[in-house]
Structure 1
Amino acid sequence: MKKIYLSLVFLIFFFAYSIEVKACSPYGTPFVATQSISGGNLNIVWTSTTAWACDYWIKMEIVCNSQPFTGTPNYTSVSISKPSTANMNYPSWSIPLSAFCPGVTYKFRAKECANGSSTSCSGWSTTYTFTAPGTPPTLTASASPAVICPSQTSTLTSTYTGGCGSPTYSWSPG
């Protein structure tokens, strides 16, 4: 009976002191260490400011500069394992700009999350911007004749160049 008791005490001691618990929060807000556009890519290096030695990743949201943020990240970085509490840069992250409209300005922000989580995260970073390389879209429109009276007609012509996708036209009298 004494051996069982000692074995039980040993097992309790072993498990109680062998379980490692990591506190990986509160999270620090990440910031951009470097940002550049080259080779058709947006290259970003984010810096982790979270003061815990754990595994993290960046969740980033990019939208047109004129649009509000939705709060839904559309890009996720590779994860990092911080060996200490010091700030640490993520590897350079290259986002292909082929899906972005040329000449259009976009804004982005990010938050740092515990690796594998979308909810255990920091607050959003400062907002940063970039302009996709290329010629911005242009639209020209004309009417022939330019002035008409009721019951007369005019031919409307428009030309759209650059940009992304097909334009949507809407004509109204005025």
Structure 2
Amino acid sequence: MALVSQEPILFDGSISYNIKYGCDDWVTDKDVEEAASQANIHDFILTTEKGYNTLCGARGVALSGGQKQRIAIARALIRKPKILILDEATSALDAATERDIQDTLHKISQNISVIIIAHRLSTVQRANKIFVLSDKKIVQAGSHKKLMQEVDGVYYNLVNKQILHEKEDDDEENDDENNNKND
């Protein structure tokens, strides 16, 4: 079992060191690259001047949030877990990075069980089974499609609230852009 939390902890060392942390005595460089590829971070690493020897900085300050998340996912995957738990692992990411990580999770979930804990519902849309919690109880369970058919359900209402909120944010951004053009 492996866990990736909302704010992954990276150490002041190389990307390679951070991926193989705690299991460096039995993993190879090839294993590191394979895990990085699975986590959609390998191509980025190759664009850096020092590749896998690039320093992350204390707590990963030299990397973006998405890069830190993907390195943490690679660290989890190198252990070849049967179960991967992601606790709000995409909540602080921009939409494009979240999509990249969702693609990664979709790929790896073919071979392992992935448990995703999330408030951002786009993160769980492709899950085989979604459990909706309210007041510490499971109040709904099913696929996204099934839960969206229950128009009086908690999940349906949450999805519509998030869509409305995202639309309002987009409208505000467009208004800001139009105001800037008019200034």
TM > 0.5 between the two?
no
When normalised by structure 2's length, the TM-score is 0.22
In terms of fraction of residues, the more strand-rich structure is: 1
**Higher helix proportion:** 2
Which of the two has higher C-alpha Rg? 1
After TM superposition, the score normalised by the length of structure 1 is: 0.22
